[in-house]
Amino acid sequence: MIDYKLHIPGPVNVSAETYKAMSTPVMGHRSTDFVELYQSCQPNLQKLFETKDPVFLSTSSAWGVMEGALRNLCQKKVLCCMCGAFSDKWLDVAKRAGKDTDPLQVEWGHHIDPEELKSRLSTGEYDVVTLVHNETSCGMMNPLKEIMEVLQEFPDVISVIDTVSSFSVVPIPKDEWGIDVILTGSQKALAMPPGLALFSVSERAFQRAEQVEDRGYYFDFLEFRSNHAKGMTPSTPVIPLIHALNYTLQKIIKEGIENRHNRHTELNQIVHKWVASKGFELLPKQEFSSKSLTCVRNNLDIDVAGFVKTLREEKKISIDGGYGKIKGKTFRISNMGDETVDSINHLISNMDEVISSFLPA
């Protein structure tokens, strides 16, 4: 059996208690038992999403909803804010869905500048904007509050915000900031196995969807809304993950949402301190650095692949050796999910032991 401690930025470690919750026997997805399970998740989900709107559960990974949102909302043209692998990919996905689209591209690791977004939107060409809040490939967190302030000036532009790797790590008040569609996935900071996407849709986004044809079926927001009213999902959902979700939400509420945010910040700082102590730099600027993971710039020119491999083989710890075009030029360490000061210190002492032979003399 493979038994690695995962410190890659998703999937992350899943606790034994979460797996246990998943082994609750399945029930019919139109039964009162299911409705009870679904509805008991809602109040906690709405607390976490900071919204009065319903929170939907999609049996898919996050990309399903990321693609689906475009099919539901775009009639004119989508502007894709691009600053890393996931946000860049969204442009490609929009094109494959047959949508007219433009990039707002910045260098990987840089943030999306609200002023630049404003000048692009002022052209009046766009009716949807996509943005990845926390660009996991670069460990960069966009200034979402400032970006949402700009979007409020354009009431005809629907915002679709990917919070896949920042959800439950930092506060993201959906209603207060006026986010139209917010989405996340189960396998990142929520520390569940992959397979469930969670999303919430504003009233004005529903109004848009009502005017859009060819929304398809599986990700049709209006199907989600009408089924939600009955405490159900449009099609048979991944029931074991919904049991896991119910357990996870209770655990989060017990910890306290603010405590959870603070814990992530504290753990992230421990990793940052280690990075600096070795003479490494961060890929993004400090002020835009993610709180869920650390993307280290390989400014010391070490053999990243060798370091990652040795850590995995000798210490049974898995970190990431860099994503796509910045593979080897960066490496990434996750502090998402159920990590604690002890578990992060354990990671660091193991990295310390392994890295010495890779550092320049």
Ligand X SMILES: *Cc1c(COP(=O)(O)O)cnc(C)c1O
Helix (H, G, I), strand (E, B) or coil at 57: strand
Contacts with ligand X, 67-106, as mask; x by CB under 6 A: -------------------x--------------------
Interface with ligand X by CB under 6 A: which range of 24-32, 130-138, 275-283, 336-344? 130-138
Residues 227-256 that bind ligand X (CB under 6 A): none
Nearest approach in angstroms of CB 353 to ligand X is 29
Q: Do residues 72 and 215 lie in contact, with contact meaning Cβ atoms separated by under 8 Å? A: yes
Nearest approach in angstroms of CB 342 to ligand X is 26
Nearer to ligand X (CB atom), residue 74 or residue 192:
192
Work out the angle at residue 263's Cα, subtended by the Cα atoms of residues 261 and 266, and round it to the nearest 5 degrees: 110
Q: How many CB atoms lie within 10 A of CB 29?
A: 18
- Tell which one of 68, 139, 185, 234 touches ligand X (CB under 6 A): 185
Q: Encode burial over 285-318: b for 16+ CB neighbours within 10 A, e otherwise.
A: eeebbbbbbbbbbbeeebebeebbebbbeebebb
Q: Peptide bond before 143: cis, by omega within 30 degrees of 0?
A: no
Q: Does 193 bind ligand X (CB under 6 A)?
A: no
Q: How many residues bind ligand X (CB under 6 A)?
A: 14
Nearer to ligand X (CB atom), residue 79 or residue 161:
161
Report residue 351 as tokens. Answer: 């990295």
Interface with ligand X by CB under 6 A: which range of 162-170, 226-234, 273-281, 319-327? 162-170
- Tell which one of 58, 165, 248, 335 touches ligand X (CB under 6 A): 165
Nearest approach in angstroms of CB 155 to ligand X is 26
The C-alpha atoms of residue 99 and residue 323 are separated, in whole angstroms, by 27
- Tell which one of 21, 78, 104, 132 touches ligand X (CB under 6 A): 132
Nearer to ligand X (CB atom), residue 164 or residue 179:
164
Q: What is the DSSP letter of 29?
A: T
- Tell which one of 53, 67, 88, 162 touches ligand X (CB under 6 A): 162
Work out the angle at residue 42's Cα, subtended by the Cα atoms of residues 131 and 232, and round it to the nearest 5 degrees: 95
Pairing status of strand 55-58 against strand 197-201: antiparallel
Report residue 313 as tokens. Answer: 């083989």
Nearest approach in angstroms of CB 336 to ligand X is 10
The C-alpha atoms of residue 14 and residue 250 are separated, in whole angstroms, by 16
Nearer to ligand X (CB atom), residue 45 or residue 302:
45
Nearer to ligand X (CB atom), residue 134 or residue 233:
134
Q: Does 11 bind ligand X (CB under 6 A)?
A: no
Work out the angle at residue 191's Cα, subtended by the Cα atoms of residues 88 and 276, and round it to the nearest 5 degrees: 65
Q: Answer positive or negative: Cα dihedral of 116, 119, 123, 127.
A: positive
Nearer to ligand X (CB atom), residue 38 or residue 86:
86
Nearer to ligand X (CB atom), residue 63 or residue 358:
63
Q: Does 136 bind ligand X (CB under 6 A)?
A: yes
Report residue 274 as tokens. Answer: 């280690």
Work out the angle at residue 196's Cα, subtended by the Cα atoms of residues 195 and 198, and round it to the nearest 5 degrees: 155
Q: Does 61 bind ligand X (CB under 6 A)?
A: yes
Pairing status of strand 101-105 against strand 78-82: parallel
Nearer to ligand X (CB atom), residue 15 or residue 61:
61
Q: Does 140 bind ligand X (CB under 6 A)?
A: no
Q: What does the binding site for ligand X look like in residue numbers (CB under 6 A)? A: 10, 61-63, 86, 132, 134, 136, 162, 164-165, 185, 188, 194
